[in-house]
Each structure stands twice: as structure tokens, then as C-alpha cells.
Amino acid sequence: MFRIGNLALKSNLFLSPLAGYTNLPFRLTLRELGGLDLATTDLVNARSLLEKNPKALKLIETCPQDRPLAVQLFGAVPEEMRDAALYLESIGISSVDINMGCPVRKVCRVGGGSAMMTELQKTSELVQAMVDAVRIPVTTKMRLGWDDENLTAPDLARALEDVGVAAIFVHGRTREQGFSGTVKLAGIRAVVEAVKSIPVIGNGDVTTPEGAKMMIDQTGCAGVSIGRGAFYNPWIFLHTQQYLETGELPPEPTFEERVRVMCRHLDLMIQVFGETHGCRMFRKVAPWYSKRFGPANEFNRRVVQLTSKSEFDAIVADYIRWRQQFLDEHGQLKPTYRPAPLVPSFMQEPGVAQREQIPVPKGPVEVW
């Protein structure tokens, strides 16, 4: 058992919020495969939620199988953040995560100092008001800081622990890095060392069970949160859990299993968003699955124009036939066509040409 505040969890592996992706169908797909307990929504604007904006309500759509669930809130008005947390508690959400973007961003720009403490003070007050208002855990998600000269996460984490935050999620990059460069395990470790007793969850570029283990071993973090790695490999939570428990790596899922899960994901998209919208949304999801199929240009070309379930079934059937040319006599991809193994940035050997970078989907990187 793993605890975040008063919440007992079956896994120390978490789904990172990915705006536009971590919707109910994706969460259910991952949950069915196992290894994941606390999952999160995309970030939701606190004010929109209080105004019952239909888009905001759709972002928090859930069901009994989708538990325990955290909602990530975004906002700077203390009363709105507090009231949104109260509302989420009242409808049975398990915990509230605060998107810290870079709370000390303005301050970092002007060089820190006493102004930074003011900002830290303001952030702490906002968070404290939320913690005092609800019984469910309040957690926060942050980066290491603005840049290498302003690694503010340890100070911020300590201040937030003092006002009652139940866990800290930290992406091991600075804001200046965006999504490039290496995830800095030492930066995550500094946050782990800064807090007294709350769990710190490491995040960034974990695409393999070995990557998760290395992050835990080298930073002392209590758990790992995985975002894009779950697109590539929805089995990553189950496989990582098994690897952490037994030291043995489960075999890669077969092509047939990948296709099965992809089809299940689309079915859930259609259930939640309707056929037309669900298929449209799946246009950007299916190519993530196909990255592990081997040659898939034929599949990708058609799936990005997807309009219906029957069309999808035809695309998959045609693709399975087309893909046979790349198989050996045992029905396995011939070695030259096998996708390269994924290697997290922090496990790549220095000086070796960068392997395939984990792509960054488009969006407002400044708040992630």
C-alpha cells in the first residue's frame, strides 16, 4: 500500500496529466491493463469548472471503474481554486492536483531575491486555503524551476509541505528546457531531500520499467508518474510494477495484443464522445499505437482521416494484410523492421547520437 495523505493506493505509479489525451477512455484503457491506481484528468480551469462550462465538465467526466481519480486544477484566484476543490470533493473525486506551471515565473525573470519569497508566500496561501477547505489530499505538480540558475522546486516543495500538501509531482526539467535535453535526476533528488515526510513522485521521459527503477533508485522518489510513455506503451504501469516487485521484465506485448487494446481504446472513445467526435479524436491517438507496429505508413495515412468505426475496422484489416510482407516465417517482424527500443533521456550514454526523442504533441507548453 502506498499513501498520499489519507488516500491508500495500490500502486506508486501514476498517470501524468496530458491535456487532450488523459480523458476517460484513455484512463479506462490503461486501468484495464493494470498497474495504475491514481490517474489524473487533463488540467481544468478552476473558474470554468465553477461556471459549469460544458467543456470543463467533460474534462472531469468519470465513472465507477475510473477510481481513484485526481483532477488537476489550474488557476490563480485563491477563492476559485478553493471552491473548485470543494466542488470536486463533493462529487467524489479522490484528490486535487494543482498545476504549478511555474508559480515563481515572473520572479525568476526579474532575478529572484525577496520578490521570490513574496511569490512563494502567495502560492503557499492559495494552497493552504485549499488544503484547509477539503479532506481529500491536495497535491502539486511542478518543474525543477525556471532555468539552471533558478532551481526553485526544492524551496517551493518545502513551503508547500508546510501548508499541508500531501505529495509533490516533479518533472525533472526546467521551464527553459521545455521538453528537450535530459531529465535531471539530481534535480528530482534535491526535491526529495528538501521535504520532510511527504512522497515526491518523479516524472519525465520514463518510457521503460528500467527507466522507472533508475529514477527511483537514483532520486529516492517514492513513485513515478508517466505521461507520454503510456501512449507508446499502455502496459508500462503493469510491466513496471512487475519489474519493481520481481526484477524480471515481462515480455513485450504481441502485435495482436497491441491491436486489441487500440480497438478497445477506440470503442471507449466512441462510448464517451460519440462515433463522429470519438473517431476524430482518435486520429491523433492511433499513430501512437502504430509507432510500435513496425512499418505503418499505410495505416497512419488512412487513420488520420478516420470518420467511423466501420472504416477503422477496414483500415485495421487492410493493414494486417499489408504488414505481412514484413514478417518472417514465424509471423514476427523481420529484425530490420523492428522498432528501436525506447531509451529514457536520462539513460542515454553521453556522446552517443540521440535515439528517437519521445515526441512532444502540440499545446501550451508554458503551463506544463
Which residues contact ligand FMN by CB under 6 A? 16-20, 42-43, 72, 99, 141, 171, 203-206, 226-229, 360-361, 363, 368
Measured in whole angstroms, the distance separating CA 251 from the mean position of its chain's CA atoms is 23
Q: Computed from CA positions of residues 218, 222, 227, 229, in that sequence, does the dihedral angle turn out positive or negative?
A: positive
- The reply to whether 102 belongs to the active site is yes
Q: Report whether 136 contacts 89 (CB < 8 A).
A: yes
Q: For Cα atoms 187, 188, 192, give the angle at the middle one, nearest 5 degrees.
A: 120
Q: In the complex, what is the shortest distance from the CB of residue 248 to ligand FMN, in angstroms, rounded to a whole number?
A: 23
Nearest to 212 by CA among 250, 186, 244: 244
Beta strands in 172-318 (DSSP E): 200-203, 223-226
Instruction: Identify which of residues 70 and 131 has a Cβ nearer to ligand FMN in the complex.
Output: 70
Instruction: Identify which of residues 31 and 175 has a Cβ nearer to ligand FMN in the complex.
Output: 175
Measured from each CB, the residue nearest to ligand FMN is 227
Q: How far apart are CA 355 and CA 368, in angstroms?
A: 24
Catalytically annotated residue among 102, 108, 221, 279? 102
Q: In the complex, what is the shortest distance from the CB of residue 6 to ligand FMN, in angstroms, rounded to a whole number?
A: 23
Instruction: Identify which of residues 41 and 150 has a Cβ nearer to ligand FMN in the complex.
Output: 41
Q: In the complex, what is the shortest distance from the CB of residue 43 to ligand FMN, in angstroms, rounded to a whole number?
A: 3
Nearest to 258 by CA among 347, 203, 333: 333
Burial of 287 (0-12, 13-18, 19+ CB in 10 A): middle
Instruction: Identify which of residues 199 and 319 has a Cβ nearer to ligand FMN in the complex.
Output: 199
Q: In the complex, what is the shortest distance from the CB of residue 1 to ligand FMN, in angstroms, rounded to a whole number?
A: 24
Helix (H, G, I), strand (E, B) or coil at 39: strand
Q: Which residues are catalytic?
A: 102
